[in-house]
Amino acid sequence: MSTVDQAAVTRVKDAVAARGNGAVLSATQPHPDTLRFVIEKNAMRAAVAGLVKELRARFLISVGTDQRPLTGDFSILHLFSLDQDHLYVLLESSVSEKDPWIESITDLVPGANWAEREFRDAIGVRPDGHPDPRRLLLADDWPEGVFPLRRDFPYNYKPPRAENVRPQMLEPPKGASVLPIGPFFPVLEEPAYWRMFVEGETVVGCDTRIFYNHRGIEKLGDSVMTYNEIPYLAERICGICGFIHSTCYCQAVEKAAGIEVPRRARYIRTIMLELERIHSHLLWLGIAGHIIGFETILMQTWRVREPVMWLCEEISGNRKTYGMNTVGGLRRNLANQIMPKLLETLGRVEKETVAIRDAVIGDTTLQARTKGVGTLTNEWAKQVCVVGPPARASGVAIDARVDHPYAAYDEIPPRIATEEAGDTWARVLVRIAELLDSIRLVRDALAAIPPGPICADIKEEIPPGRFGLSVVEAPRGEAVHFVLTGGDNRPYRWRVRAPTYPNLQAMPAMVEGANIADVPITLGSLDPCFSCTERLETIDRTTNEVRVYSGAELLEMSRRRVCPGGAR
């Protein structure tokens, strides 16, 4: 962990106190890298303005919590990062159940748009003055006045069926036509609905609707799952970045509880995180080629990726969802006998990746399809709080591994790859550079890994009422996990923000003025990750009848080992 400059702590306290105008109820430093301010809700906007405008703080996410069983009120928490100072800042306000509103900060921080709409949907606190009050988290046919993250809401609630409810979508500009993309689209393996507003072949605006398959992960985390059951659920937040999310969650709990993770476990976490980055970037590069019809890239990168997946399986027992993380460290060690094979495999992957890089960089057709396409300006990337390769390709040099070091990155830091153009080509170059640097990081970690235990000896229960904030640099960007500890061996509140969450909010600006044909690769260049689909549609080959099976029917057929259509 980097040392926090106390002068930076003083600057933040002074800025918040000056803007708070006497409404700062408390200012504490619960962790060396974390400042927490409790503020009256009518002073929240002013405090945020001080952080953002004077100190250039970067918004992370908002956390809405139903604390009525504890304090009688709701809590709204805005999380910020001062990257250069390695410091987190938390601004918290209590909101009465009788008057559930707080002033919106979206006009100050455009990146807070979705976060504010989400806590409105989840716990029923209204962000007054929000420029887009439509639902985000909840379906348009969700019952009014029912808020899923309130403590009295059952985790297994099923809303009544509603008929003839249409999505609340923006109207196109006068004279523009609507080109729908999704909810199911060949290039996107997951559901998302985009309405492109077009004049001829040119996009003049767009609107989107996602959250089609919200899985209730945070609700499960604070209702029926214990601290050490949640890492397995966290790994399933994303089909690619599973180890990232389980690491991020475990680090949040470890921070809240004051658990010191053994150094060897930190190194092994680093190795697994970088292996995940390597295979994710190779996966993305292949899909990007597929989107623009360059199938050779897809075939080559996925061929190169496969030995990395075999290594992950040899280390953990699984190609994905490794099941290694636990609160306090790891459940599995890294065997010494696998290290030479790891180095040998990475050497081959590096050699073949360099060959692919040289071929890609020299391909004029590929450059024609990506240069100047989907441009994201440096200023808008900052305002909408974009993270990961999309941010770095727009000249925003942020990386959680450097800004808030965790695992073993304090001893083996990455080299931050940046570009200035902000277009799809720049995002290609950043990811290729990161892929090769990840190979270096794994080598450095293997060379420096210390002996010793892989899990802390936790003798006492985790006390309630503490919080931990953790960030981990996923291949797509910074993942954020916030945990407020509770009783009964489970969190009181668990909040997750995946990197796609802020990045998708930049999409309208990236496609405005673009050609329709460039929209798929622009969206693909963000490497978006939506929730997995939860339905199955089949076609009976004998009758050509389309049939949609319910979850109960699929479960019953699986128990009888019957395939849809009757085959065994």
Residue 464 phi/psi, 5-degree rounding, is -75, 165
Task: Mention the CATH class of domain 217-524.
Answer: mainly alpha
**What b/e string do you get for 287-324 counting C-beta neighbours within 10 Å, with b at 16 or more?**
bbbbbbebeebbebbbebbebbbebbeebbeeebebbb
SS3 128: strand
Cα distances (Å, whole numbers) of residue 148 to 121, 157, 488: 8, 9, 21
Q: How does pLDDT run along the chain (568 residues), one tens digit per residue?
A: 556 778 889 899 988 988 877 899 999 999 999 999 999 999 999 999 999 999 999 999 999 999 999 999 999 999 999 999 999 999 999 999 999 999 999 999 999 999 999 999 999 999 999 999 899 988 888 899 999 999 999 878 888 888 888 778 888 899 899 998 877 766 666 778 889 999 999 999 999 888 877 677 888 888 888 999 999 999 988 878 889 999 999 999 999 999 999 999 999 999 999 999 999 999 999 999 999 888 999 999 999 999 999 999 999 998 888 899 999 999 999 999 999 999 999 999 999 999 999 999 988 988 999 999 999 999 999 999 999 999 999 999 999 999 999 999 999 999 999 999 999 999 999 999 999 999 999 999 999 999 999 999 998 899 999 999 999 999 999 999 999 999 889 999 999 999 999 999 999 999 999 999 999 999 989 988 765 323 233 334 455 554 555 656 656 665 665 544 444 3
DSSP-derived pairing of the beta strands 177-181 and 126-128: unpaired
Cis peptide before 183 (omega within 30 of 0): yes
Q: Which fold has domain 6-148?
A: Beta Polymerase; domain 2 (3.30.460)
What are the structural domain ranges in the chain?
A: 6-148, 217-524, 535-568
Locate all alpha helices (DSSP H) within 57-136, ordered by sequence. Answer: 113-123
